[in-house]
């Protein structure tokens, strides 16, 4: 190893050690570690796969360069594929050229053009003591220039050891928490009420959650974007008997219509152009656990028919297949739209609406639970301080500026604003001037969702956010608590003109 490579390796290990010791969220820590491998060493497409003792499979815990729609399909049995073999044997493997490796399954479909762009793959076991906890993988592109297999493997071996120690620590903490005895009649209520927020509106939501969670009833969550629908869905899963099994989330509005049915129900090999191998859908991946369908009102009618059957009979066929698949899934759906209006308009099936709306939980917007704003802000600031290693203190006028805002993006917008302050504020003490990007003053409260006003209300909110952001879509998306892709979908949907510079 030459001096330059040695220095890069040392810097990478120093950065990895700092991230693993300072980042409290284990998943974010692993994602950041993979980012270091790319930025410091040029090792791309990093992935951390961990063993799930409940399902007996190795699943992808972190893969920042792999889309979630592909990542969720990458589950392997020990001994299956390269990752499964490394996990089973506990020994590192170097594949000089992925295109010539017969054991490479490419189950997620993420690896393309391997002949035109040759790559080597490293797969290193995450070992702690005598136990193998998972596998760390990374790639080296031959086109990037000369490199050494031995040097790369040495650095990855040290990184894998540090990651394994962190994973084992998290597993022990989780086991210790599960070992604490709680009275069965009060434990779910106590855990639900430990969520941030003490307002009457929020406590009413948590009360319903704690009563519904132990059942298998389908739940429909309603509320504006950013009110925490996925947070509540995960709470329903965590407080129920399915907690040890998978929680699988899918955003129905973010997937193209041509791929939606395949994502939900899977497909067989050759079912359509590009289907080089069979894939399990989200229903199969959530078997025994909970499936969360966000923006369910965006489902096209063709997918609604198949979803209805899957809910009623717990059976379906993969796209292009004839074999009937039977699953046991608890369904939680969510929408921020006027779904009754969609039923009247004929774009949403009435029978599916009744199947989804067994138990309805309405999540209040942040402007209607203002007593929770400061507790939420304190919670997020403490979390962000641990994550970024920076502390900020809000002055009374900064707090007043936060309270004067109506938060059209709700809790998600609040966290985004606070993260921006933590990352970019010039001083530790934050004043109202630092919060000035909010627009300074209370915006008109959006109208209550109703049969005819909900779509118009959302259209106006998008237009207002674009105007405030100077038609910079990334900034407008942050104001609304949306991703840029979700914002662009709404711009096209409502025919909103966007000024271009």
Q: How do residues 142-176 score in pLDDT, each as one tens digit?
A: 877 788 888 889 999 999 999 999 988 877 765 55
The mean of the pLDDT values for the chain is 81
| Higher per-residue confidence, 279 vs 437 | 279
Residue 182: its pLDDT value, please?
A: 38
Which residues are within 8 A (CB) of 172 and not within 5 positions of it... i.e. 6 or more apart?
none
pLDDT exceeds 50 at position 315: yes
Q: Which of 88-97, 393-402, 441-450 has the lowest mean pLDDT?
A: 441-450
Distance CA 284, CA 267 (A): 11
Residue 426: its pLDDT value, please?
A: 81
pLDDT band, residue 103 (cuts 50/70/90): low
Residue 444: its pLDDT value, please?
A: 35
pLDDT band, residue 384 (cuts 50/70/90): confident
Whether residue 338 sits in one domain with residue 195: yes
Whether residue 305 sits in one domain with residue 393: no
In a domain, 501, yes or no: no
In a domain, 398, yes or no: yes
- What residues make up the domain containing 458? 368-493
pLDDT exceeds 90 at position 7: no
Q: Which tokens in the block code for residue 94? A: 């170097």
pLDDT exceeds 80 at position 72: no
pLDDT band, residue 190 (cuts 50/70/90): very low
Distance CA 33, CA 464 (A): 38
pLDDT exceeds 80 at position 211: yes
Whether residue 332 sits in one domain with residue 392: no
Whether residue 133 sits in one domain with residue 238: no
**Model confidence pLDDT, tens digit, residues 41-53:** 889 889 998 887 6
End-of-domain residue from the set 153, 177, 201: 177
pLDDT exceeds 90 at position 196: no
Alpha-carbon dihedral angle through residues 86, 92, 97, 100, given to the nearest 10 degrees: -40
CATH of the domain at 104: 3.30.450.40
Highest mean pLDDT among 160-164, 392-396, 431-435: 160-164
In a domain, 296, yes or no: yes
Residue 120: its pLDDT value, please?
A: 87
pLDDT exceeds 70 at position 10: yes
Q: Please give the tally of structural domains in the chain.
A: 3
End-of-domain residue from the set 138, 158, 177: 177
Residue 446: its pLDDT value, please?
A: 38
Whether residue 254 sits in one domain with residue 161: no
pLDDT band, residue 186 (cuts 50/70/90): very low
In a domain, 425, yes or no: yes
Distance CA 117, CA 106 (A): 15
Residue 102: its pLDDT value, please?
A: 65
Residue 164: its pLDDT value, please?
A: 92
CATH of the domain at 409: 1.10.8.60
Q: Which of 166-170, 236-240, 289-293, 477-481 has the lowest mean pLDDT?
A: 477-481
pLDDT exceeds 90 at position 400: no
Q: DSSP letter for 295, please.
A: T
Per residue in 245-254, is it b (16+ CB within 10 Å) or e — as a string?
A: bbbbbbbbbb
Distance CA 384, CA 379 (A): 9
pLDDT exceeds 50 at position 440: no
Average pLDDT, integer, range 344-371: 91
Which residues are within 8 A (CB) of 454 and not within 5 positions of it... i.e. 6 or more apart?
337, 338, 341
Closest CA to 4 of 146, 176, 204: 146
Strand ranges of the sheet holding 119-128, from the earlier edge strand across to the other edge:
57-62, 44-52, 131-141, 119-128, 93-95
The share of the chain scoring above pLDDT 70, in percent, equals 84
Whether residue 318 sits in one domain with residue 225: yes
pLDDT band, residue 218 (cuts 50/70/90): very high
pLDDT exceeds 60 at position 34: yes
Whether residue 324 sits in one domain with residue 305: yes
Q: The whole model's pTM is what?
A: 0.52
Distance CA 333, CA 310 (A): 14
The DSSP element (H or E) to which 58 belongs, if any, is strand 57-62
Average pLDDT, integer, range 257-271: 82
In a domain, 332, yes or no: yes
Radius of gyration of the chain (CA): 24
pLDDT band, residue 453 (cuts 50/70/90): very low
**Model confidence pLDDT, tens digit, residues 233-256:** 999 999 999 998 999 998 888 777
Average pLDDT, integer, range 398-409: 88
In a domain, 465, yes or no: yes
Residue 234: its pLDDT value, please?
A: 93
Whether residue 229 sits in one domain with residue 378: no
In a domain, 89, yes or no: yes
Whether residue 391 sits in one domain with residue 291: no
The torsion region of residue 320 among left (phi > 0), alpha (psi -120 to 50) and beta comes to: left
| Higher per-residue confidence, 219 vs 78 | 219
pLDDT band, residue 363 (cuts 50/70/90): very high
Whether residue 303 sits in one domain with residue 200: yes
| Higher per-residue confidence, 493 vs 213 | 213
Q: Which of 225-239, 385-399, 430-444 has the lowest mean pLDDT?
A: 430-444
Whether residue 246 sits in one domain with residue 151: no
| Higher per-residue confidence, 444 vs 135 | 135
Whether residue 98 sits in one domain with residue 34: yes
Distance CA 29, CA 386 (A): 11
In a domain, 431, yes or no: yes
């Amino acid at each position: 190893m030459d001096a330059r490579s040695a220095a890069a390796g040392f810097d990478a290990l120093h950065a990895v050690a700092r991230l693993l010791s300072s980042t409290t969220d284990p998943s974010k820590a692993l994602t950041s570690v993979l980012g270091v491998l790319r930025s410091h060493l040029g090792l791309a497409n990093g992935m951390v796969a961990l063993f799930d003792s409940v399902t007996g499979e190795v699943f992808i815990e972190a893969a920042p360069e792999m889309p979630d729609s592909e990542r969720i399909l990458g589950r392997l049995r020990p001994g299956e594929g390269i990752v499964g073999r490394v996990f089973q044997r506990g020994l590192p493997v170097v594949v000089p050229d992925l295109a010539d490796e017969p054991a490479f399954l490419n189950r997620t479909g993420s690896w393309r053009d391997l002949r035109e762009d040759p790559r080597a793959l490293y797969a290193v076991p995450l070992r702690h003591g005598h136990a193998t906890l998972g596998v760390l993988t990374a790639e080296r592109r031959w086109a990037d220039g000369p490199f050494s297999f031995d040097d790369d493997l040495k650095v990855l071996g040290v990184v894998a050891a540090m990651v394994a120690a962190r994973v084992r620590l998290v597993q022990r903490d989780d086991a210790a928490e599960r070992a604490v005895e709680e009275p069965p009649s009060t434990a779910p209520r106590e855990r639900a009420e430990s969520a941030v927020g003490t307002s009457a509106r929020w406590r009413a939501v948590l009360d319903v959650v704690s009563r519904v969670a132990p059942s298998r009833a389908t739940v429909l969550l309603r509320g504006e974007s950013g009110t925490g629908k996925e947070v509540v869905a995960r709470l329903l899963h965590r407080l129920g008997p399915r907690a040890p099994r998978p929680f699988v989330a899918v955003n129905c509005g973010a997937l193209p219509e041509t791929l939606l049915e395949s994502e939900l129900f899977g497909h067989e090999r050759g079912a359509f152009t590009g289907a080089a191998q069979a894939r399990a859908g989200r229903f199969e991946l959530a078997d025994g656990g909970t499936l969360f369908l966000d923006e369910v009102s965006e489902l096209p009618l063709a997918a609604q028919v198949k979803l209805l059957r899957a809910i009623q009979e717990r059976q379906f066929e993969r796209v292009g297949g004839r074999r009937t698949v039977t699953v046991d899934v608890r369904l939680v759906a969510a929408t921020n739209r006027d779904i009754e209006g969609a039923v009247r308009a004929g774009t949403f099936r009435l029978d599916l609406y009744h199947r989804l709306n067994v138990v309805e939980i309405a999540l209040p917007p942040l402007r209607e639970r203002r007593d929770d704003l400061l507790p939420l802000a304190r919670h997020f600031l403490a979390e962000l301080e641990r994550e970024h290693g920076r502390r900020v203190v809000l002055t009374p006028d900064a707090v007043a500026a936060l309270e004067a805002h109506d938060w059209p993006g709700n809790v998600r917008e609040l966290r985004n604003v606070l993260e921006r302050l933590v990352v970019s504020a010039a001083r530790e003490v934050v004043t109202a001037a630092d919060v000035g990007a909010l627009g300074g003053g209370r915006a008109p409260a959006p109208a209550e969702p109703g049969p005819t006003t909900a779509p118009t209300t959302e259209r106006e909110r998008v237009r207002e956010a674009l105007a405030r952001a100077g038609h910079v879509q990334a900034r407008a998306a942050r104001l609304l608590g949306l991703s840029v892709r979700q914002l662009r979908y709404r711009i096209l949907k409502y025919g909103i003109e966007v000024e271009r510079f």
